[in-house]
Chains A and B, each alone.
Chain A
Amino acid sequence: DAGVIQSPRHEVTEMGQEVTLRCKPISGHDYLFWYRQTMMRGLELLIYFNNNVPIDDSGMPEDRFSAKMPNASFSTLKIQPSEPRDSAVYFCASTSLGGTSGSIGELFFGEGSRLTVL
């Protein structure tokens, strides 16, 4: 398997523009997570899906952020309008059940999308 695939790898945009980040999870995984990583706040969970359904979006910073998963092999994270404070590396990760007591197993991360908002 090719692993979790994210695009774009780098995005530079101007404040106010719409940004769309894309993710293709590992085939067969039914959990998908979006994380944001910054120096100041570390690794933050934004939202996660199970079987394409959003389960917990309490980490989404504000209404400017939205995420969708229209099918098992594709998810998007959209920021509209973007602001300089959104500059970060955004990671997508996927997994499936595999731990104890029916819990999820190892989390596989994509390479990340580095977003710079000027």
Chain B
Amino acid sequence: AQSVSQHNHHVILSEAASLELGCNYSYGGTVNLFWYVQYPGQHLQLLLKYFSGDPLVKGIKGFEAEFIKSKFSFNLRKPSVQWSDTAEYFCAVIPPRRQNFVFGPGTRLSVLP
């Protein structure tokens, strides 16, 4: 079945460590890609999005993501994480010719102070 997968269920890092969260999707054609963040007890908020153009996308709070079409990937990165980045991160895709969002299962990030 076509889907969105995220490589890690739970990632634990120390402050100042670098972060990379993997996201892969299985849809061919033109897709729109998103990363959302959910802080504990809160709703999902947009971190960044890719529709077209430069495959390296910069978002809020120092996050960035790179779209690699040949790998069907949209990995999220941050050079130096902070304790406040502790949250759950969701990759999402709008499949081609569709008008709905397909979310990945989420990756929980725990940053140790």
Q: Could you tell me which A residues sit within 8 Å of B by CB distance?
A: 31, 33, 42-43, 45, 48, 50, 55-56, 91, 93, 99-101, 103-107, 109-112
Interface centre among A50, A55, A93, A100 (most CB of B within 10 A): A100
B102: chain A residues within 8 A (beta carbon): 45
In this assembly, does B80 line the interface, its C-beta being within 8 Å of a C-beta of chain A?
Answer: no
Q: Could you tell me which B residues sit within 8 Å of A by CB distance?
A: 30, 32, 34, 36, 42-46, 49, 51-52, 90, 92, 94, 98-103, 105-106
Given contacts A42-B105, A56-B100, contact A103 B94 (CB under 8 A): yes
Q: A55-B100, A100-B30, A110-B43 are in contact. List 20 more A-B contacts (CB 8 A).
A: A33-B101, A42-B103, A42-B105, A43-B90, A43-B103, A48-B99, A50-B99, A56-B100, A91-B44, A99-B32, A99-B94, A103-B32, A103-B94, A104-B94, A104-B101, A106-B46, A107-B36, A107-B46, A109-B44, A111-B42
